[in-house]
Amino acid sequence: MIDTKVHNKNMAHGGVRNLNYFSNAYAAAVSAVDPDAGNGELCIKVPSELWKHVDELKVLKIHINFSLDQPKGGLHFVVPSVEGSMAERGAHVFSCGYQNSTRFWFPCVDSYSELCTWKLEFTVDAAMVAVSNGDLVETVYTHDMRKKTFHYMLTIPTAASNISLAIGPFEILVDPYMHEVTHFCLPQLLPLLKHTTSYLHEVFEFYEEILTCRYPYSCFKTVFIDEAYVEVAAYASMSIFSTNLLHSAMIIDETPLTRRCLAQSLAQQFFGCFISRMSWSDEWVLKGISGYIYGLWMKKTFGVNEYRHWIKEELDKIVAYELKTGGVLLHPIFGGGKEKDNPASHLHFSIKHPHTLSWEYYTMFQCKAHLVMRLIENRISMEFMLQVFNKLLSLASTASSQKFQSHMWSQMLVSTSGFLKSISNVSGKDIQPLIKQWVDQSGVVKFYGSFAFNRKRNVLELEIKQDYTSPGTQKYVGPLKVTVQELDGSFNHTLQIEENSLKHDIPCHSKSRRNKKKKIPLMNGEEVDMDLSAMDADSPLLWIRIDPDMSVLRKVEFEQADFMWQYQLRYERDVVAQQESILALEKFPTPASRLALTDILEQEQCFYRVRMSACFCLAKIANSMVSTWTGPPAMKSLFTRMFCCKTCPNIVKTNNFMSFQSYFLQKTMPVAMALLRDVHNLCPKEVLTFILDLIKYNDNRKNKFSDNYYRAEMIDALANSVTPAVSVNNEVRTLDNLNPDVRLILEEITRFLNMEKLLPSYRHTITVSCLRAIRVLQKNGHVPSDPALFKSYAEYGHFVDIRIAALEAVVDYTKVDRSYEELQWLLNMIQNDPVPYVRHKILNMLTKNPPFTKNMESPLCNEALVDQLWKLMNSGTSHDWRLRCGAVDLYFTLFGLSRPSCLPLPELGLVLNLKEKKAVLNPTIIPEAIAGNQEAAVNPSSHAQLVGFQNPEDDHLAKEASCNISAHQQGVKRKADTPLGSPLEPGQILEKNEDSSKVKLKIRFSNSQDEEEIDMDTVHDSQAFISHHLNMLERPSTPGLSKYRPASSRSALIPQHSSGCDGTPTTKPQWSMELARKGTGKEQSPLEMSMHPVATAPLSVFTKESTSSKHSDHHHHHHHEHKKKKKKHKHKHKHKHKHDSKDKDKEPFAFSSPASGSEISVNILILEMRKPLSSSFSHDQFPLIFISHSDLFLELL
Amino acid sequence: MADTATTAGAGGSGTRSGSKQSTNPADNYHLARRRTLQVVVSSLLTEAGFESAEKASVETLTEMLQSCKYQETIGLLPVNQTSILILLICFNVDTLPAYAKRSQRMVITAPPVTNQPVTPKALTAGQNRPHPPHIPSHFPEFPDPHTYIKTPTYREPVSDYQVLREKAASQRRDVERALTRFMAKTGETQSLFKDDVSTFPLIAARPFTIPYLTALLPSELEMQQMEETDSSEQDEQTDTENLPLHISTDDSGAEKENTSVLQQNPSLSGSRNGEENVIDNPYLRPVKKPKIRRKK
């Protein structure tokens, strides 16, 4: 165990700093506060005097007063710095976060499995609108008429994690088709909102129809906000979108993307919000179902081609990711928590918790989930699949109307086992093998196929090999479909893939002699004429496809002759097959391939995406054939024929984007053409002139649609045409030696970029392309490499797309020029940028395009950087899980799992353990594997192995030792927290609350640094202290806890930040909340928790109100409870009134935004959670109430 | 004409400027009159016995006479009392008839009329248009029909599609280039080359306070274009013939557009109407007044 304080003193030369160690510690820290496991960060101890009240089933109220001052996470404020009132400035705030992050903005049991009903009240400035979950019951002015209170009631039991809030001067649009649906956007954007949401009702209709179930909530709200955390976030009865999804009717490209976002969020309303999950390991079911029904919507809306194309794309993505990282596990089961059982040992993070996952992993996880759901559909049929969904939904909606039988509410939670049971009940089929293969196990299948045709036997000898030894792969055993297109038609064969059989004989139907006049029947029944001259005279085989339906998560590398691929491209009607053949044809640069691709390009009936990828393939083939290529550059005459004027072929027609297919082709062809190279590996002059002419003659005046994406792609085309400059003696790039072609390109870029300032394009697509092009010119040595321009575009205040493009250029510069200064600039931005998405994105881009990697020598790789990143991971990102995981990813990319090589060896190999009087190997040099396990070796019950690493020269030796011991006694688990912490100033240490008969508050920080903050005078004292609490804990406690945490860890601690949680000394609290929690469960005694909005309530007040309940054996009191509940309710209202009047002149509720420090007039938040505590969750029997609240209080300074 | 009007308005300077430009008939008239007056003055002087006179004195006398005459002609005489007084002082009115009939008076020949405005007999070509009913008959008649005939003289327009496109493209490019260069010169710039700031001047990036507004809302130009395309699309259907392919797609597109608009409109307007009566959306409800709780 390493105490942070010690660690910081002694490990100045590098510290532990290995990622393995961090990951274990981080996972342990997250575990320690995991609400699903009954853990939390705020523990409220109920005094023993009150226990008898609990026995009598009396209601206990607990009020938690807190204020939130300039929160860094959980709520995001957008406050533009312009003149005017907050409403005029368009200032707004919204809740955000990754997975269960509601604890960041109010104390709650932040678990998806803890359901309760809600009453929410928000008092905001009269010009603002507060949008939250459930029905808006009424809006009432405050007495001074300057503010109004929005009263929301959510009667459907909902997890705190699905609670959200958005406040701003929104424009309100009631959906013209569905009056229960309301849309909100920021001022001035109403016309865009009207257009964007005009489609939503169709999505509603679609889902309701396929699920044969009404939308579960009585209303739905969409809010479009700026600086969104993610593009789409679904919460109970409302979704929060990025405002950048809004578009006008003139925009083509954004329309399908936005519609997809809307449909996605709506699918999650059913599965994700209404139906929640039992535990993290059941997440895949929700993501799978919502992704699957979203896929069905895609199929219906954009057609089968688009759907299949999307499935293929997703499949490729997940396969690539799994092969790269070693696998994505959908349903992790953890046994015993032993290291060797870790199912994800190949990863640099733990997958036990959502909050430790890399963002990329989580994205891929969702992708895999819906693909697996599709596999299940393949197995049991769509009809049954939809029946299962319907069953889940109808059970849940029955349960949700049960107000007082909370045990029913568990029906609203989906679990893997429950889902599988439903499937077997409904379909009667056993899908266990499928689940075992794809859900309980990670990895994908890698097939290698080849074949030979045996003429004598008229048999196709197919050989299918598997690679199941590389990381991320698994062995597949089971059926595999193979489709063989012969001269006489298309035939499906199902092969059994078994352990040791590689060869499969497939009898052919057709004789090889062919009737020339006969048409060839295809799979879909169509009969076509083919020119069969290309094929092998002896074989009747046209093409072969392995697993054409994508019913295995696999990668197939199949070998067949080039003419077979060409036939497949021309005549196979499945877009996936066409796509595959295009990919394969890249390896066959022949005139025949060229012809096949050109034909596809010209074929109007062909799916546009296939035609688009044919463009790029054609460019590659042309480059490979450069010495034999005849005629004009590839695609030029095609483009001229399709898009240029008949009379003057060098001039493009005035834009008319009515036909989207040809629009996309028109956009793509020049981009692909610019990739052409001549024998000198330069872009042919002809092509460059052609593109410049396209730009010159571009005329959009008569077009109904905006051409901003088209023009942006023309700039991309210019960038693609750039080839490395011929550099003589590394001369400095100046204007004089500028290549004339580049001069022309620069001329265009300059003009475009400048015009953007005067007439900005939608989403500034042109600026984005210009910035990218400038970076390409810099990288190719035409223009001096200089990040200054990009840095100015990366500043806060530019549109987010521009910023990301500029940052990408800076990241690239950092890598290419190995610039320490720029890296520092980026790191600084990661820590300080106001927009969470941008911070996340920088880390992401740095990880994708790292300045150096593990085994690389780089001047950038130094100790200071290690320290910086280490600090960022540990303490700089406590308010944003995504950011922390992003930092971990970057650290992994840069330094790998073990100790960064740039760190010097620690000075001392051995350290002295004072307590044990023995020397221990300094952990910083313990090899990776041991380091990972070392904590397991520490025995919590004995002090013998307490390893406080001390520098013998340390002056404060004795004191530190005692610190270590005390820390140790608080539980081994705590040590997990320690490396996460950063040292605190001594002044922050608060005194310990000695009066332990009173309620104890315990706050655990996920990055907690509590260890060294507890001011323990002596070991003896602390032991007494702890033993006292151990006694207290003899009362039944949350059972879930004990297995995660040794009892001693539950000693009540008042951390330094307790001022934040009891709200004591803040003279002007910025935010306060009333939270009432009532229990009316059948088997539980009621428990009511309400928070007074008295911000100045001292701890003692708080204590009086809080009580504990012991409720092991109360069973049949719920009738009684009814009455009581009502009464209590009334009482509560009175209570509130009192406080209202009390607070009137104190004006305690305001919350300030970090952006300006000035107050945004969003005020009181009164929350009431009504929860009949269900017996199904162990930790409901609280003597303690755990409020998971990792970081909220940290920010309360 | 406008010129003389202004000079007349300017008062005394009328004659001077009039003499300078003696082209128009009014000036001719004035000159003729002046000449006549000069003859009158000279004859009066001869009558009085002068044999010769300096030009300046003749001029002065002419001027005096003219001022009387002038006032008379422009109708100032009756109002101008001083003029009348001068007249009365100068002349004994009763003697005037006798004076007029004196024997030795000189007869002044009528001034030579320079160009008698002989209104030539109008060549009637065709029938004048009759007055439309709303014009009273006493108004002058319409001019002869031939006066309506116009002979347009302009250069043969460039109708070659290629040239037109070329022109439009380069014009737009020039305008854009000039505009952006101007903007770059007048404001802050960034440069891609350290040693040169003028060849590729980039207008400096300036952050916005609300960046999403400019990024999302269509610019005014685009809005304008939208309106134009909406109207021009219909024109195109009738008069463009050189782009057959264009039209066919345009047509179908426009039709689609129209139908969709038609389909949408009734439903939208219907729901709009409904909105006022039927829609009960909690966000549209009025905000309640707080309850007064003074009792406690």
User: Is residue A73 within 8 Å of A1191, Cβ to Cβ?
Assistant: yes
User: Is residue A1169 within 8 Å of A1076, Cβ to Cβ?
Assistant: yes
A133 touches chain B (CB under 8 A): no
Q: Give me the residue from A179, A774, A783 closest to B281, CB to CB.
A: A179
Give CA separation, A701 vs A641, A653, A694, B242, in Å.
22, 12, 15, 17
- Rounded CA-CA distance A749/A316 in Å is 35
Q: Is A1155 exposed, middle or buried (0-12, 13-18, 19+ CB in 10 A)?
A: middle
pLDDT digits (tens, 9 = 90+) for A447-460: 999 999 998 888 99
User: What is the structure's pLDDT at A401?
Assistant: 85
Q: A1197 or A34: which carries more pLDDT confidence?
A: A34
Biggest CA-to-CA distance, chain A: 100
User: What is the structure's pLDDT at A495?
Assistant: 92
From the candidates B171, B283, B288, B296, which should be mutated to test the interface with A, based on the most A CB atoms within 10 A?
B283
User: What is the structure's pLDDT at A172?
Assistant: 95
Biggest CA-to-CA distance, chain B: 127
Q: Give me the residue from B229, B257, B281 closest to A702, CB to CB.
A: B229
Closest to A1013 measured CA to CA, from A4, A31, A2, A16: A4
Contact B212 A799 (CB under 8 A): yes
Provide CATH code, domain A71-274.
3.30.2010.30
Token pair of A599 as six digits: 């034909």
pLDDT band of residue A996 (cuts 50, 70, 90) is very low
Token pair of A354 as six digits: 């959502």
A661 touches chain B (CB under 8 A): no
A1187 residue type, one letter = I
- Rounded CA-CA distance A310/A263 in Å is 15
Question: Mean pLDDT highest for which of A484-488, A514-518, A593-597, B125-129?
Answer: A593-597
- Rounded CA-CA distance A886/A31 in Å is 19
pLDDT digits (tens, 9 = 90+) for A1132-1166: 333 333 333 333 333 333 344 443 333 333 333 33
User: Residue A755's closest chain B neighbor by CA?
Assistant: B180
User: What is the structure's pLDDT at A206?
Assistant: 96
User: Residue A135's closest chain B neighbor by CA?
Assistant: B282
A 783-802 → B contacts, CB under 8 A:
783-784, 786, 788-789, 792-793, 795-801
Q: What is the mean pLDDT of residues A637-641?
A: 93
- Rounded CA-CA distance A1024/A1006 in Å is 26
pLDDT digits (tens, 9 = 90+) for A753-786: 999 999 999 999 999 999 999 999 999 989 999 9
Contact A774 B275 (CB under 8 A): no
DSSP H or E run through A492: strand A489-497
User: Is residue A975 within 8 Å of A1010, Cβ to Cβ?
Assistant: no
Contact B283 A182 (CB under 8 A): yes
Q: Tokens 């050989």, residue?
A: A463
Work out the number of other CB atoms within 10 angstroms of the CB of residue A522: 18
From the candidates A754, A761, A780, A1139, which should be mutated to test the interface with B, based on the most B CB atoms within 10 A?
A754
User: Residue A699's closest chain B neighbor by CA?
Assistant: B169
ipTM above 0.90, yes or no: no
Contact B183 A746 (CB under 8 A): no
User: What is the structure's pLDDT at A1015?
Assistant: 35
User: Residue B173's closest chain A neighbor by CA?
Assistant: A696
User: What is the structure's pLDDT at B96?
Assistant: 72
User: Is residue A586 within 8 Å of A617, Cβ to Cβ?
Assistant: yes
- Rounded CA-CA distance A802/B222 in Å is 21
DSSP H or E run through A595: helix A591-602
User: What is the structure's pLDDT at A911?
Assistant: 44
Domain locations in chain A as residue ranges: 1-57, 71-274
Closest to A1057 measured CA to CA, from A22, A9, A66, A12: A66
Q: Give me the residue from A647, A659, A704 closest to B229, CB to CB.
A: A704
The DSSP code sequence of A202-225 is HHHHHHHHHHTS--SSS-EEEEEE
Residues of A in contact with B236 (CB under 8 A): 702
User: What is the structure's pLDDT at A340?
Assistant: 44
Q: Give me the residue from B183, B246, B271 closest to A758, CB to CB.
A: B183
Per the DSSP assignment, residues forming a β-bridge with A129 are A168
User: What is the structure's pLDDT at B86?
Assistant: 65
Q: What is the mean pLDDT of residues A847-868?
A: 89
User: What is the structure's pLDDT at B122?
Assistant: 61
Q: Give me the residue from A656, A763, A784 closest to B249, CB to CB.
A: A656
Residues of A in contact with B282 (CB under 8 A): 135-139, 219
Angle CA(A438)–CA(A441)–CA(A445) in degrees, nearest 5? 60
pLDDT band of residue A689 (cuts 50, 70, 90) is very high
Give CA separation, A1180 vs A45, A278, A398, A1113, in Å.
14, 14, 23, 13
What is the residue-averaged pLDDT of chain A? 77
User: Residue B211's closest chain A neighbor by CA?
Assistant: A799
A502 touches chain B (CB under 8 A): no
Strands (E), A397-442: 413-414
Contact A138 B288 (CB under 8 A): yes
| Helix axes A863-871 and A820-832, enclosed angle (nearest 10) | 10
A910 touches chain B (CB under 8 A): no
pLDDT of A1024 above 80: no
pLDDT of A402 above 70: yes
Contact A757 B190 (CB under 8 A): no
A883 residue type, one letter = L
A701 touches chain B (CB under 8 A): yes
From the candidates A231, A757, A798, A801, which should be mutated to test the interface with B, based on the most B CB atoms within 10 A?
A757
Token pair of A211 as six digits: 């699920």
Closest to A675 measured CA to CA, from A727, A630, A639, A635: A635
User: What is the structure's pLDDT at B71?
Assistant: 56
A740: Cα within 13 Å, side-chain hemisphere: 2
Domain locations in chain B as residue ranges: 27-101, 163-225
Name residues whose C-beta falls within 8 Å of residue A121's C-beta, 6 or more positions apart in sequence. Answer: A149, A150, A151, A152, A1164, A1165, A1166, A1167
Residues of B in contact with A788 (CB under 8 A): 190
From the candidates B216, B240, B273, which should be mutated to test the interface with A, based on the most A CB atoms within 10 A?
B216
User: What is the structure's pLDDT at A121?
Assistant: 92
Question: Mean pLDDT highest for which of A18-27, A176-185, A515-524?
Answer: A176-185
Least confident of A178-187, A331-340, A460-469, B164-173: A331-340
User: Is residue A437 within 8 Å of A382, Cβ to Cβ?
Assistant: no
Least confident of A134-148, A511-525, A996-1010: A996-1010
A83 touches chain B (CB under 8 A): no
Query: What's the pTM value of the predicted model, to 2 decimals?
Result: 0.73
- Rounded CA-CA distance A1154/A1148 in Å is 18
Q: What percent of chain A has pLDDT over 70?
A: 72
What is the full per-residue pLDDT of chain B (296 aa) written as tens digits? 334 333 333 333 333 433 444 456 777 777 887 888 888 888 888 888 888 888 888 888 888 877 765 555 555 445 456 666 666 666 666 777 777 777 777 777 766 656 666 666 666 667 777 888 888 888 888 887 777 777 777 777 777 888 889 999 999 999 999 999 899 889 888 888 887 778 888 999 988 889 999 999 988 777 777 666 655 444 443 333 333 333 333 333 333 333 333 344 444 444 444 444 567 889 999 899 887 665 44
From the candidates A175, A179, A643, which should be mutated to test the interface with B, based on the most B CB atoms within 10 A?
A179
A524 residue type, one letter = N
Contact A747 B200 (CB under 8 A): yes
- Rounded CA-CA distance B233/A660 in Å is 19
Q: Give me the residue from B177, B229, B246 closest to A653, CB to CB.
A: B246
User: What is the structure's pLDDT at A1127?
Assistant: 33
The DSSP code sequence of A335-402 is STT-GGG-TTTTSSS-SSSGGGS-HHHHHHHHHHHHHHHHHHHHHH-HHHHHHHHHHHHHHHHHHHT-
Name residues whose C-beta falls within 8 Å of residue A509's C-beta, 6 or more positions apart in sequence. Answer: A486, A488, A489, A491, A540
pLDDT digits (tens, 9 = 90+) for A588-636: 999 999 999 999 999 999 999 999 999 999 999 999 999 999 889 999 9
Residue A312 phi, psi (nearest 5): -65, -40
User: What is the structure's pLDDT at B124?
Assistant: 64
Contact B162 A651 (CB under 8 A): yes
A138 touches chain B (CB under 8 A): yes
User: Is residue A1018 within 8 Å of A11, Cβ to Cβ?
Assistant: no
User: What is the structure's pLDDT at A386?
Assistant: 96
User: What is the structure's pLDDT at A199?
Assistant: 92
Residues of B in contact with A646 (CB under 8 A): 245
Question: Mean pLDDT highest for which of A36-40, A315-319, A340-344, A1109-1113?
Answer: A315-319
- Rounded CA-CA distance A450/A650 in Å is 47
Give CA separation, A917 vs A11, A14, A747, A1018, B271, in Å.
21, 25, 75, 19, 84
Question: Mean pLDDT highest for which of A82-86, A824-828, B65-69, B81-85?
Answer: A824-828
Contact B190 A645 (CB under 8 A): no
B217 residue type, one letter = L
Q: What is the mean pLDDT of residues A478-489?
A: 92
Give CA separation, A456 vs A460, A495, A511, B22, in Å.
11, 22, 11, 119
User: Is residue A379 within 8 Å of A245, Cβ to Cβ?
Assistant: no
From the candidates B212, B264, B276, which should be mutated to test the interface with A, based on the most A CB atoms within 10 A?
B212
Q: How close, in Å, is residue A192 to chain B by CA atoms? A: 8
User: Residue B250's closest chain A neighbor by CA?
Assistant: A658
Closest to A133 measured CA to CA, from A122, A141, A142, A123: A122
pLDDT of A312 above 90: yes
Size of interface A-B (CB pairs under 8 A): 217
Report the sign of the C-alpha dihedral through residues B235, B236, B237, B239, in that order. Answer: positive
Provide CATH code, domain B27-101.
1.10.20.10
Name residues whose C-beta falls within 8 Å of residue B112's C-beta, 6 or more positions apart in sequence. Answer: B32
User: Is residue A904 within 8 Å of A21, Cβ to Cβ?
Assistant: no
User: Residue B208's closest chain A neighbor by CA?
Assistant: A797
A 348-387 → B contacts, CB under 8 A:
none
pLDDT digits (tens, 9 = 90+) for A189-204: 999 999 999 999 999 9
From the candidates A120, A735, A771, which should be mutated to test the interface with B, based on the most B CB atoms within 10 A?
A735
